[in-house]
Structure 1
């Protein structure tokens, strides 16, 4: 059966699903990286596709922006469509001074200013973390490709235009690598449903310097990251 937000039929999703924020990036991933990809849902223009990579079924679906949208789609994919591995392939703004444009950040854990996880876990603090198996395989793949990578905490915020103008400095002081808007919710949804999740992100903006990737540079960087996600997940 379909859900309120996904029109796919039962069995339409593969167990492995990539999860970019932008639905048009989901289409780009399907067109660029998957074989024989077909559109399986376009409700509210949140595009979803299933194809294959090296003969292994793979799906890709947009998550939308922010934790509420990410949590909504993650829950429906886990609960109703049998997705076992959900991997965010997105962008982030770096706060760690050693990170530069195009570097890849792997969210080992995700701090947050959102109240969503407190609501989910009975007003207790919950430490949202990645699945270690997915994380270690991806890190190994990056190292084999000599790809610059950073593994550690990120800060998932509800606000793109945050009212705390010192948030970047506070996050850096606590050792966070970058800011994003989805990882903490994705990891919480995976914990609730006992599934595997990982968030990997290309640095598209340096929040301390104001530098950012161009549209063409973003596309190239995201393609490389996506290819390594697929190689690390499908081949192992």
Structure 2
């Protein structure tokens, strides 16, 4: 066996640039580094714990619950690195907080999409597992995100997300000078017909890798564009950020309820009031 060029067990992780004492057990994962401070505005308190390249990490509390946020940059390869290295720091729960394009006509710009599973139209997870392995969100994380959106009064949709490696041709858009990749013109319609809700670029990798390692993961995205109506606005970012932060508090309550009941999984019979 060849030696590793970087030790994956170093205390401070090579890419994210933080160590075990820098992060909570639950980490929010926005793509955009600038979104980190937009998320922390909803917290009780926070500290900048470090950054390297596209990765910025802040840690604090939300309604008394420990919480961290680490930006991942654009796409599944960099998101996978974040999950890998944060998992080595004993993080056990990941929530993607992002933006997306909706592909169902009834979905409005500014609405939230809570992912229950994802179409793996990205290549990162092919390097982990066979192509028919599902990208499934953890049921506790989905339940916490739904409960948070309900409590906050935000419009939301639940369902299947498609994650792409390409913002342009891989999402059915024309490339440079109108270039069309094979099958791109039919892509959105095919996804609509199978009730896929939205398109983005990181969820399937986060869900798949977390599932392989026995960790919890989910995703909530704000709709910036509707590919059916042609509407586009950068709206709803704060709703996704607040919903994800509240979900962390609700997950902490779920964990307390499980411990009190002596069970391994949270279910609807356990209160989180």
Contact 1:117 1:125 in 2 (8 A): no
Q: Aligned-pair distance for 1:229? A: 3.0
**Pick from 52, 71, 79: which aligns with 1:62?**
71
**Pick from 95, 113, 117: which aligns with 2:103?**
95
Deviations 1:109-156 (A, max 9, x none): 0002223323211x3411110000111122123234443221111111
**Pick from 120, 126, 143: which aligns with 1:118?**
126
Contact 2:120 2:135 in 1 (8 A): no
* Distance in 1 of aligned mates of 2:208 and 2:86: 14
Does 2:29 match 1:19? Answer: yes
* Distance in 2 of aligned mates of 1:224 and 1:55: 15
**Pick from 36, 47, 67: which aligns with 2:56?**
47
TM-score normalized with structure 2 length = 0.79
* Distance in 1 of aligned mates of 2:21 and 2:242: 29
Question: For this pair of structures, how many residues does the alignment match?
Answer: 231
Bigger radius of gyration: 2
SS in structure 1 at match of 2:185: coil
**Pick from 121, 129, 135: which aligns with 1:128?**
135
Check 1:44–1:185 CA distance in 2 against 1; reply closer, same or farther (3 A cut). Answer: same
* Distance in 2 of aligned mates of 1:74 and 1:196: 11
In the alignment, structure 2 segments of 5+ residues that lack a partner are 1-10, 170-180, 254-271
Contact 1:53 1:234 in 2 (8 A): no
* Distance in 1 of aligned mates of 2:70 and 2:94: 10
Q: 2:260 matched to which residue of 1?
A: none
Deviations 1:18-59 (A, max 9, x none): 1111111012212x0223311112111521011111222110
Q: 1:150 matched to which residue of 2?
A: 157
Check 1:141–1:119 CA distance in 2 against 1; reply closer, same or farther (3 A cut). Answer: same
**Pick from 62, 73, 87: which aligns with 2:82?**
73
Deviations 1:93-121 (A, max 9, x none): 00011111111111100002223323211
* Distance in 2 of aligned mates of 1:114 and 1:9: 29
TM-score normalized with structure 1 length = 0.90
**RMSD (CA atoms):** 1.8
Does 2:85 match 1:108? Answer: no
* Distance in 1 of aligned mates of 2:12 and 2:22: 11
Contact 1:118 1:125 in 2 (8 A): no
* Distance in 2 of aligned mates of 1:227 and 1:191: 21
Contact 1:97 1:208 in 2 (8 A): yes
Contact 2:33 2:73 in 1 (8 A): yes
In the alignment, structure 1 segments of 5+ residues that lack a partner are none
Counterparts of 1:221-232 in structure 2, within 5 Å, are: 221-232=239-250
SS in structure 2 at match of 1:72: helix
